[in-house]
Amino acid sequence: MKEIGRLARAASHRLALLASTDKDAALSAMRMRLEGGREAILAINARDCAEAELAGQSAALIDRLRITSLRFDEMTGALTAIRELDDPVGTIVVERRRPNGLVIQRRRVPIGVIAVIYESRPNVTVDAAALCLKSGNAVILRGGSESFETNRAIHRCLASGLADSGLTADAVQLVPTTDRDAVAMLLGGLDGAIDLVIPRGGADLIARVKRDARVPVLGHMQGNCHVYIDAAADPAMATAIAVNSKLRRTGICGAAETLLIDVAAEEGLARGVVCALLDGGCEVRGDAQVQLLDSRVRPASDADWTTEFLAPIIAAARVSGVTGAIEHVARHGSGHTESIVTEDLDAAERFLAEVDSAIVLHNASTQFADGGEFGMGAEIGISTDRLHARGPVGVEELTTYKYVVRGSGQTRR
Amino acid sequence: MKEIGRLARAASHRLALLASTDKDAALSAMRMRLEGGREAILAINARDCAEAELAGQSAALIDRLRITSLRFDEMTGALTAIRELDDPVGTIVVERRRPNGLVIQRRRVPIGVIAVIYESRPNVTVDAAALCLKSGNAVILRGGSESFETNRAIHRCLASGLADSGLTADAVQLVPTTDRDAVAMLLGGLDGAIDLVIPRGGADLIARVKRDARVPVLGHMQGNCHVYIDAAADPAMATAIAVNSKLRRTGICGAAETLLIDVAAEEGLARGVVCALLDGGCEVRGDAQVQLLDSRVRPASDADWTTEFLAPIIAAARVSGVTGAIEHVARHGSGHTESIVTEDLDAAERFLAEVDSAIVLHNASTQFADGGEFGMGAEIGISTDRLHARGPVGVEELTTYKYVVRGSGQTRR
């Protein structure tokens, strides 16, 4: 493991200085090799899936593990999409000329070496490799044990692509063991060889990484997202946004998990939203007042207010206007994404200012919480941490900066 | 301690929404109260100093602890200087209109609650309080035990100023005990009440904070800064920059600690720089080749290449051009500040690109590593961490951001 860290550090120094065209050529070569490995990867993945079934893994895990033909196309497509992004490295973010003649530039540079620890989705192997390469970082990948052979097969193609284009394969390394000690060593930082750990997976994985890491971590804990329907909401818009936020896809972190309805909202508005969710196949777990709206509403437990269901289930409460909504989110939210639906601009601005989440929206679905939808291209995740990066983490968020100062002999008085 | 955390968190919510004028009025009131407390603070500080002397503390510690009349003026002046900075909170950093009509803003917001753990310099009490207030953060201050009564006296004035202007004194709290367990509790995050810990002090303090903190830390380890004199340097400029980088003030983190001289530099250039340092009262600890330049040069030990002397002592080595300089800095540097002196622009650009430090300079003194000199106003320190903030940490670096998205009923396909 220490050798992996040493090689990654050495590679990171070379990656930091690469021209955009060289990185883009490597991403193209990686795509070619991945396309070439299609049949082999699908066959190996089928075996991983069969073994996971034999081992009695859950259907949800096996679904995440499985690479369908469509998902394979998405993986190769991601390489193209990331290649086409602007290179963030070298950008001058700020430039100041000081009275003494010094010219001070703040210039984007890569973070260095990033370890990505993830679970069963093998597409993360491709996404993380490509996003780190584009942003000039070396990456050490550690996937889940059930997808180990699939990840190895994908990684072999990516490494061949790097070699084809004359880059070192040390830029993208896969931990060659399923040994759990390897994770502990990554979290220990490999003697200073790792600058950042990014966990991708369930709440247990992320909690463990946050607890044990001796190096900085960028991760999202969970997305307990809220939709608040204000009394002044347009009824049709409120229904459309609530249903889309919850049901478009229930398994993503930007899916709504709690519906808040203003106590002052007319009964037609409140009932319309709740019934649309119920009619759409969603279980609604409501407080006493929400239960009055429809007999299908079940009672909510205390735990429901903080649960990330990732399923067609939503908790629902009546709250005292925008103040009540802000308080409810502050008490139960996870700082991910919250939306207010209202035609009252003052209420909207208060909600946008006072809700302390990575993403706050007015009259739009929480499912827009996504790097692609934000115009950032692909993302490696959505950060609910407060430092370095908040919200979608794309190639720009995978960089840091340095100050470059040019003088003509200045000394300080 | 948990109560301190709870009060700070509550205060942070109110601070985040304050208008700039309210914060500025509070800073003015704090200055008035501090001025009013001048005699009392100086008397209490004299007692702290006398007790430190009795306890056998070092002269250096007592010097840092002592508030002279001049230093008192600097403390009150800092309040004015920080008041006059632009308020970073609320600034729209990026705004994008998406094809679907969503308008996405990235807006600066405070980090939240910051704990500042510092040693004997009582002016940090004022600087940290003012920088955090200006940037909308609540702060919990924990000073050194030897300056406890001085810090309490200063803090009473700051709290009175906050009260005068109608703000909660919970915005700036001082840990009311010298108990070391209090530090451990701060580093544990007080049940999620602390978003960031900033240590200010010696290497031991910062190493302890980094090791034990369960919340993010922004700190600089040490400033082992290098000046590299290229063969193509202007001799007079090389001498001026080396002497200024080392000797202007030897106790600051931007002071040079190692001098690197190109092996290809003419003997006159190399000897001129070394003799100017020696003549200026600096001890030079050189490798074999530097020892040949002047009989006063002492031999350097291996440890000298990584030592932050903070004294009129410099390590000195001959290196193989800019490549050798980059390698030496990569092996021994601390990632703080490094300067190249040369008339060769290609060599300069290579050094600026390849030296991986927070600040890299061409033809300028390392002592410019300072927030004020960078046009950022006051700073709380210089970060050698790579994430969130690198280099000088001013009010802007004490903020994070959130995404504010405005729609008109958009749902995601």
ipTM of the complex: 0.93
Report the candidate in B261, B232, B227, B199 with the shortest Cα–Cα distance to residue B367: B227
Q: What is the pLDDT of residue B174?
A: 97
Q: Are residues A204 and A307 in the same domain?
A: no
Return d(Cα A285, Cα A291) in angstroms, integer. Answer: 8
Return d(Cα B264, Cα B289) in angstroms, integer. Answer: 12
CB contact under 8 A, B387 and A356: no
Q: Is residue B198 part of a domain?
A: no
Q: Are residues A75 and A121 in the same domain?
A: yes
> Using CB atoms, which residue from B245, B368, B405 is nearest to A364?
B405
Q: Is residue B48 part of a domain?
A: yes
**Token output for A407:** 């003088």
Q: Are residues A213 and A260 in the same domain?
A: no
Return d(Cα B176, Cα B173) in angstroms, integer. Answer: 9
Q: Are residues A232 and A213 in the same domain?
A: no
Q: What CATH number is attached to the domain comprising B334?
A: 3.40.309.10
Q: Are residues A234 and A160 in the same domain?
A: no
The CA distance from A11 to the nearest CA of chain B, in Å, is: 13
Q: What is the pLDDT of residue B27?
A: 97
Closest CA in chain B for residue A233: B409
Helix H segments across A55-147? 59-65, 69-83, 123-134
Q: Are residues B35 and B136 in the same domain?
A: yes
Q: Is residue B208 part of a domain?
A: no
Can you tell me which residue has the tokens 């490999």?
A190
Chain A contact for B373 (CB, 8 A cutoff) = yes
Q: Could you tell me which residue, A381 or B102, shows the higher pLDDT?
A: B102
One-letter identity of residue B108: R
pLDDT tens profile A306-344: 999 999 999 999 999 999 999 999 999 999 999 999 999
CA–CA distances in Å: residue A247 to residues A239, A325, A338: 12, 21, 16
Q: Residue count of chain B, please give it.
A: 413
Mutate to test the interface with B, among A103, A209, A245, A402 (most CBs of B within 10 A): A402
Q: What is the pLDDT of residue B60?
A: 84
What's the domain range around A324? 225-368
Q: Is the pLDDT of residue A353 over 80?
A: yes
User: Where would I find the beta strands (DSSP E) of A45-168?
Assistant: 92-97, 103-110, 113-118, 138-142
Q: Are residues A204 and A315 in the same domain?
A: no
Return d(Cα B113, Cα B117) in angstroms, integer. Answer: 13
Evaluate the CA torsion angle B103, A133, A71, A281 in order and state its sign.
negative
Cβ proximity of A273 and A282 under 8 Å: no
Q: What is the pLDDT of residue A204?
A: 86
pLDDT tens profile B116-144: 999 878 999 999 999 999 999 999 999 99
Return d(Cα B35, Cα B39) in angstroms, integer. Answer: 9
Q: Are residues B262 and B132 in the same domain?
A: no
Contacts with B358 from chain A: Cβ below 8 Å: 402-403
Q: Are residues B333 and B395 in the same domain?
A: no
Cβ proximity of A359 and B402 under 8 Å: yes
Q: What CATH number is attached to the domain comprising A121?
A: 3.40.605.10
Closest CA in chain A for residue B352: A404
Q: Are residues B233 and B167 in the same domain?
A: no
Give, in degrees to the nearest 5, the angle at Cα B384 between B371 and B339: 70
CB contact under 8 A, B411 and A352: no
Number of domains comprising chain B:
2
Cβ-count burial A123-151 (b if 16+ within 10 Å, e if not)? bbbbbbbbbbbbbbbbbbbbbbebbbbbb
Contacts with A245 from chain B: Cβ below 8 Å: 411
Contacts with A404 from chain B: Cβ below 8 Å: 352, 360
Residues in chain B, pLDDT under 50 = none
Chain A contact for B272 (CB, 8 A cutoff) = no
Q: Residue A286: which H helix or E strand, with range? A: strand A283-286
Q: Is residue B338 part of a domain?
A: yes
Q: Is residue A413 part of a domain?
A: no
3-state secondary structure of B331: helix
Q: Is the pLDDT of residue A221 over 90?
A: no
One-letter identity of residue B161: G
Average pLDDT score over chain A: 95
Give, in degrees to the nearest 5, the angle at Cα A340 between B191 and A254: 65
Q: Are residues B140 and B272 in the same domain?
A: no
3-state secondary structure of A312: coil
Return d(Cα B206, Cα B204) in angstroms, integer. Answer: 5
Q: Is residue A253 part of a domain?
A: yes
Q: Is residue B380 part of a domain?
A: no
Q: Are residues B45 and B98 in the same domain?
A: yes
Q: Is residue B98 part of a domain?
A: yes
What does pTM read for this prediction? 0.93
